[in-house]
């Protein structure tokens, strides 16, 4: 019997073609998931679909949950594990895009690009007001030195920035290989950095890591 796969969110045509070579595939973005999930052996989601314990329990045939993206925070992994369901993601899928987007936002922040653009659209040329600061010789603090954090650091070094970073799960030699200085605590990152970028997975330990009470806010950091 051919396994049935539900594609719940949009993926590329090439991805659909690969799935259809081996499985019976249905694409349904808007249907009643609670009513249909029990018909499938596997489901492919991205970030918009939340697979709760209740939904997973309804997936009587479910064996695989495929997350077409980096994280799995929208899947109740514990509930899936209890049922023997494999939860797989694609950790390399958006690494470069996320790193480039981070650098783009960093440049926009340093150079006041949104403010200058808005003023220009209103017919005002305010060059001196929105000149901003150079990134060269500034210090970028990276919280979370996984795949994306490392690629951000590589690009920041290319811009002439000094990079300090914190991640207790990454070997210190890896920081140095990419031109970053490893620090022992997030507080040290806040103390040293002119700009801070956050690349931590969303867990109970990291939720709220940056907020009004954080050292970054208290210091008025970017």
Please check whether residue 164 is in contact with residue 111, taking contact to mean a CB–CB distance below 8 angstroms.
Answer: no
List pLDDT tens digits, range 60-95: 999 999 999 877 889 999 999 999 999 999 877 788
**Are 46 and 148 contained in the same domain?**
no
Pairing of strands 139-143, 86-89: unpaired
**Are 83 and 124 contained in the same domain?**
no
Q: Looking at 89, 108, 143, which one is the last position of a domain? A: 89
Provide the CATH number for the domain around residue 71. 3.40.50.720
**Are 202 and 105 contained in the same domain?**
yes
Q: Looking at 61, 89, 117, which one is the last position of a domain? A: 89
**Are 150 and 49 contained in the same domain?**
no
Has this prediction a pTM greater than 0.85? no
Q: Looking at 50, 71, 89, which one is the last position of a domain? A: 89
List pLDDT tens digits, range 112-156: 999 999 999 999 999 999 999 999 999 999 999 999 999 999 999
Give the pLDDT band (50/70/90) at residue 23: very high
Which residues on neighbouring strands pair with residue 88, listed in sequence order? 66
**Are 121 and 52 contained in the same domain?**
no
Mean pLDDT of the chain: 92
**Are 17 and 47 contained in the same domain?**
yes
**Are 47 and 8 contained in the same domain?**
yes
Please check whether residue 135 is in contact with residue 161, taking contact to mean a CB–CB distance below 8 angstroms.
Answer: yes
CA distances from 176 to 12, 71, 119, 181 (A): 37, 26, 41, 6
**Are 102 and 172 contained in the same domain?**
yes
Beta strands (DSSP E) in 8-135 are 24-27, 42-45, 64-67, 86-89
CA angle 126, 127, 129 (to 5 degrees): 70
Which range of residues forms the domain containing residue 199?
95-219
**Are 165 and 191 contained in the same domain?**
yes
C-alpha 156/C-alpha 138 separation (Å) is 10
**Are 126 and 169 contained in the same domain?**
yes
Q: How many domains does the chain have?
A: 2
Which tokens go with 50?
């939340």
**Are 182 and 100 contained in the same domain?**
yes
**Are 198 and 122 contained in the same domain?**
yes
């Amino acid at each position: 019997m051919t396994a049935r796969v539900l594609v719940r969110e949009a993926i590329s045509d090439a991805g659909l073609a690969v799935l259809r070579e081996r499985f019976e595939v249905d694409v349904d973005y808007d249907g009643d998931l609670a009513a249909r999930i029990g018909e499938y052996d596997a489901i492919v989601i991205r970030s918009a679909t939340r697979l709760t314990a209740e939904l997973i329990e309804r997936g009587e045939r479910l064996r695989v949950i495929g997350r077409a993206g980096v994280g799995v925070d929208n899947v109740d992994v514990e509930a899936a594990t209890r049922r023997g369901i494999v939860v797989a993601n694609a950790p390399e899928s958006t690494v470069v895009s996320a790193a480039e987007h981070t650098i783009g936002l960093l440049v926009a922040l340093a150079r006041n690009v949104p403010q200058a653009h808005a003023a220009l659209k209103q017919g005002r040329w305010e060059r001196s007001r929105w000149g901003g600061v150079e990134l060269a010789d500034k210090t970028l603090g990276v919280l979370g030195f996984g795949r994306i954090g490392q690629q951000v650091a590589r690009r920041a070094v290319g811009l002439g920035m000094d990079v300090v970073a914190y991640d207790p799960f990454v070997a210190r030699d890896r920081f140095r290989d990419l031109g970053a200085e490893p620090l022992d605590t997030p507080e040290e990152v806040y103390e040293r950095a002119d700009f801070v970028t956050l690349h931590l997975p969303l867990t109970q330990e990291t939720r709220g890591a940056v907020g009004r009470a954080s050292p970054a806010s208290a210091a008025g950091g970017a």
